[in-house]
Structure 1
Amino acid sequence: MSGDSHQSIGGSYSVKTAVFEGPMGILLELVTRHQIEITAIDLSDLVSDYLKFLDEMRKLDLDVTSEFLLVAATLIQLKARALLPADADIDIDEELALMEERDRLLQRLLVCVTFRDVAAVIKHRLQETNRYVPRVSGLDQKIEAPPPEVVLPIDGVGLAEIASKVFTRGDDDLDLDHLDLHLPSVSVAIDELRVRIATELDTTFDELVEHCERPVELAAYFLALLELARWGIVGVSQPEWTGPIRVNHKEGVSAGHITSEWT
């Protein structure tokens, strides 16, 4: 047996013998299917090469170690059974027990491979769907149950009288003193962002709006940032969909001749 052993791309321990070269899992499958003679594999060299492989890794990988121990134990059992002298009187119960034990080992290997493959599929789907946003609205209007019929305890004449009273009372001039109508200007936000971005060449949107106290101010600065990005004055990126918005100044771009629809 050659002393050449390595770790494959998928993290599985690979071996190279006179009759086989490849991952340990495939070696076990071929042996159990009798496609490779078990007596042709030198288990002592296999264990020695694996110990050298662990020294080269300098860090114990539980997945690789578990796979090797499972395969090695199965190979030892199969080889010991093959080397024992054949008994003329075959005990059917003993043979059935050995076959059941072999099937149990193969079943554990199959379960291990199944969970590994399923975990890979789940990981891939999580990476592919991490940008999806679930719909939070209710059922579609077409399939919603119709509202119950409302029976009014009044006739048409009485309803007209009530409507007349509602429409004629009150003043048309609404009192808006209690409302905060001091809205920020998007054009002013554009000018402020151009000055700040010229000095802070690489920053984030959170840092640019840390002085804002109201949500409406955040909205104005966000619209101003979109306007600057449309002009090509700044570059905007968001590597992660929940991460910060990166803003960087583009050198050599002048927007002196550009007019905004917000001015």
Structure 2
Amino acid sequence: MTGTDLAGQASEPVQQDGFTVRLDNFEGPFDLLLQLISQHQLDVTEVALHQVTDEFIAYTRTLGEHWDLNEITEFLVVAATLLDLKAARLLPAADVEDEEDLALLEARDLLFARLLQYRAYKQVAALFGELEAGALRRYPRAVSLEERFESLLPEVVIGVGPERFAEVAAAVFRPKPPPTVSLEHLHQHQVSVREHAALLRVRLAERGVATFTELVADCGHAVEIVARFLALLELYREQVVRFDQEDPLGELVVHWVGGSVEQAQADAEAQRARQDEEEYG
């Protein structure tokens, strides 16, 4: 095949492995021409699009029945975009009086963006093609377990018997209790630190040694446990108890060092009397 340049002279034959453009200011693949225009390395106004079209038509005729529909479609899309872009670039860049000319100037940038978008889609399609070709060369390993590893498999042990399954089934079919909202937070239980201190004074004097868990075993609310702890701190400040804790965050052991049981009972009664006097005047 031969093409015609701007001077009307016949150009060299185009290679059959792909469409090649031969102009006065460019010679190479059509994709390279598109890349140079998109990178502003070649002005689209300097490209003779009619000559490119003539050469492509001649190129498709040489292919005969072996022409590629994808290649022809790509050329039509790119050629139409370049034609619109060239028409917009030929407009004057000065003040625009006609609104239609202004719209063409605004469309120029959109056409260039469309050109870049076409290039991006083409590159992504090529990447997907490479990934697909690489995946077709991979095959999963389809073999059975080797005999030397068969004995290493753990035995299947089911720790749930028929009775447990029956309990699970009964729990599933058992009607759920209606949801309830607790009102305990609306009626806060009031406690007295002095009262708990008097109670612990007598209890520790009788036992001599006790753990904190044992001292709060009869508490029914969390606020009572807090009151017992604060009461122990009050007794420690009076130097009538001693704390031992072997390990960090371990069990707290309380020792009574405040005298006899009778003295502890008397101090507790005096403390209760002072509390009643303060409350009732």
Task: Give the TM-score normalised by structure 2.
Answer: 0.43
Task: Give the TM-score normalised by structure 1.
Answer: 0.45
The structure with the largest helix share of the pair is 2
